[in-house]
Amino acid sequence: MAGPAIDQEWLAELCRAGDRIIWDAYRFALGEPGVPWPRLVLPMKGKECRVGEQEARMALVAALLADREASSWALAAEAPTRLSYRFAGRASGPRAQRALIDLALYRGDADAPALAIEFTSGGRSGKSEHDDSIRRDIAKVLAEQPPVLWFHVVRDATGSALEGLLRALDAAISLLSNPYKLAGYLAPGKAPEPRAKAIAFHLCIVNPGLTASLHRVLDYVPGRPDDAFFSLAPAETGAGPAGNGPAVGGRAGAGRYVGGRADANETVAAAIDLAERQGWLVHRPR
């Protein structure tokens, strides 16, 4: 039985608090002047600091624990899914096993998550829409019952990488909205029983000289993918759909960084501005 609906405004603000923790940690790691001691330390990976799925999870947990409105929530890391999946080498028919929810939030029922959170990272380049790692996670998102937050970190982004990521997400949801295709990821003989749910997509962008995030909620209905949700095709008007609220702050920081990232940041800023006009909530540092 479905639990109480998730307050999507609260969830968007929680994501923005997670953004700020990640961005402050990144600025601290870069040695920018005047940055206070961070809540999160980014470990070094070679000559660069690591900003990925684990850091995103730690940042969101820190934001959740600091939120007075979240006192009724309990949380679990890597909670087993309800269904079993066969993700690797599906053509050879491996033994199915239960997958893991990166972070599950519970409210009132310790046996059924009220919100499932998936943390992913990386951009997608080129025009390819096939990304099996995204498809596996989307299969889990659609087949399981709880509403979902998809929190994705994109480091050193370009405009084409953002557009490629959105294309890969769109292709995965469009494909797996077909129950027959979705069943291919489940244990043999198990028919999926997806239900309508809210799936909040949050993209946290971490570039030298540019940090911003995009947030939008997909009202998912099984078998009826929204073909326009992930599209960044130019719009005729500058206004996004009603009810998405105002953006936070000013322009996405294009031109603040002078050097090798300047051109890439300009393409990212242009993609962010276009996404904002098409209904995505944009969060920028003040």
First to last CA, the chain: 41
Condensed to tens digits (0 to 9), the pLDDT of residues 35-57 reads: 999 999 999 888 899 999 999 99
Element holding 133 (H helix, E strand): helix 132-143
Which whole-number Å values give the CA distances from 266 to 117, 130, 140, 209, 240, in the listed order? 30, 27, 35, 11, 21
Is pLDDT above 60 for 192? yes
Taking alpha carbons only, the member of 139, 125, 120, 114 closest to residue 52 is: 120
For residue 226, the model assigns a pLDDT of 87
Is pLDDT above 60 for 128? no
pLDDT band at 1 (very low <50, low <70, confident <90, very high): very low
Taking alpha carbons only, the member of 123, 203, 202 closest to residue 159 is: 123
For residue 248, the model assigns a pLDDT of 36
For residue 30, the model assigns a pLDDT of 93
Which of 86-95, 165-174, 181-190, 234-243 shows the lowest per-residue confidence on average (mean pLDDT)? 234-243
For residue 95, the model assigns a pLDDT of 78
Is pLDDT above 70 for 89? no
Q: Which pTM value belongs to this model?
A: 0.87
> What is the mean predicted confidence (pLDDT) over 135-162?
94
The whole-chain average pLDDT of the chain stands at 85
* Residue at 40: amino acid letter: L
The sign of the torsion formed by the CA atoms of 274, 279, 284, 286 equals positive
Condensed to tens digits (0 to 9), the pLDDT of residues 213-244 reads: 999 999 999 988 888 999 887 644 444 443 34
User: β-strand 148-155 against 115-121: which pairing, if any?
Assistant: parallel
User: β-strand 115-121 against 74-85: which pairing, if any?
Assistant: unpaired
